Structure 1
Amino acid sequence: MSASPVLITGGAQRLGRHCAERLVDDGHPVIISYRRERPALDALRERGIVTLAADFSTEAGILDFLERLKAETSSLRAIVHNASDWAPDITGPKAGENFERLFRVHMLAPYLINLHGRALLEACREPQRDIVHLTDYVARKGSRKHAAYAATKAGLENLTLSFAAMYAPAIQVNAIAPALIMLGEGDDDAYVAKVKAKAVMDMVPGPGVIYQSLRYLLDNRYVTGITLPVDGGRHLR
């Protein structure tokens, strides 16, 4: 157990929430950021998880979050960049705005949080400190309908390499690149069959595999600058 909390951005739902709850189960204090108020946050707060509202779609919102984070804690054991926006490409006059928003959420927010959070990580008295970027399988494959999303996630993957080199050996920086891990509301049997057919493992595994991957990185002192694929062997198709 670490006395310094783990920060998970976008920790109010799905993968972020699962990892936050599992970390608490394992005895770690946790801080999450969230974009909007939702009932699930009350359950997280009851478990002792600190919740900080954040708008990563603007630089001002990112910097405001950082000020409140520094007021909340003097150290961090790890930073897990999970906040994401699965937005499709659009055409017309707002196409540029759409790309810029995804850039700020997927790249500028992690970039600034890593820079400002370095001192918080270095203040942790544990022998290991980590930054983990949640990227995406499509960062290397591209996407016909989510080109801006894929490109900005690829940028986040590249930031992994840069920060790993900058912060070694005191802070390890790695990435996890999942394919589809959880189903969404309204996903029907046809969609499930289509998803399963994309990977040789023929399954939708659920969020536990991401926590296993996160724990591997948080517990291994000799791994930095890698992207860990969690995609069921899609590259084998």
Structure 2
Amino acid sequence: MNATASLVFALFALVLVTSGAWWVLRQPFFPIAGIKVDGEVTHNNAVTLRANVAPQLKGNFFTIDLARARAAFESVPWVRKAVVRREFPNRLRATLTEQVPVAHWGDEATSRMVNGFGEVFEANVAEVDDDLPRLDGPDDQAGQVLGMYRLLAPQFEPYQLAIEELGLSSRGSWHVLLDTGAILELGRGQSEEVLARTQNFLRTVKQVAAQYGRTVAAVEGADLRHNEGYALRMRGVTTVVADPKKK
């Protein structure tokens, strides 16, 4: 009986102490006195970040929800990732990683970008280098589109050509807009198939254009979706034969 009574008393005391400690921790005795922001901060400054995030933080130093605090920081434009931790005795430290855009995403009317991980994010395009290419396709395939761009772009460089836009249709067909204004229909298939068709085009288009007294810059468009060949459209070149009766 004595042992049971002692155990009950000990449990009661533990609950009482725990409840008391929790009550004390929830009181406004431990307010957060400051927020330290560090990390890769280029498009934001610490003052603006604190002003945007502080109103969303609830609780004191011990009771604040760090997961919600992290989400608050990551909701700020240009912030990709935030690591938030307590810093004794009364501060929070947020270490931020900002988005690094590698391409515009979608229609020109939007303000979306793609980072190096193939993630789409909102951004102020006025702060972005105009030389970045534009990629387009279903949002959930942004990584695939970025991967295809990284595969194809180096193929054009030896020919003094550059991809300005690369798109993937909802039906899985690829198309490219070059810096010369030429539009290339690359068709569907695995990346190796698309790459092979592109390489074949680049190896031969200069010679084909030369047969008509033109350079690659005269190419307006090409359709690479044909087996063992492609259709070519060039400025000033037509296959239509004039009707002598109309002369």
Give the TM interval when normalised to the shorter protein: under 0.3
| Greater relative CO, 1 or 2 (CA 8 Å, sep 6+) | 1
The structure that is strand-richer by fraction is 2
The structure that is helix-richer by fraction is 1
Q: Please identify the structure whose Cα radius of gyration is greater.
A: 2
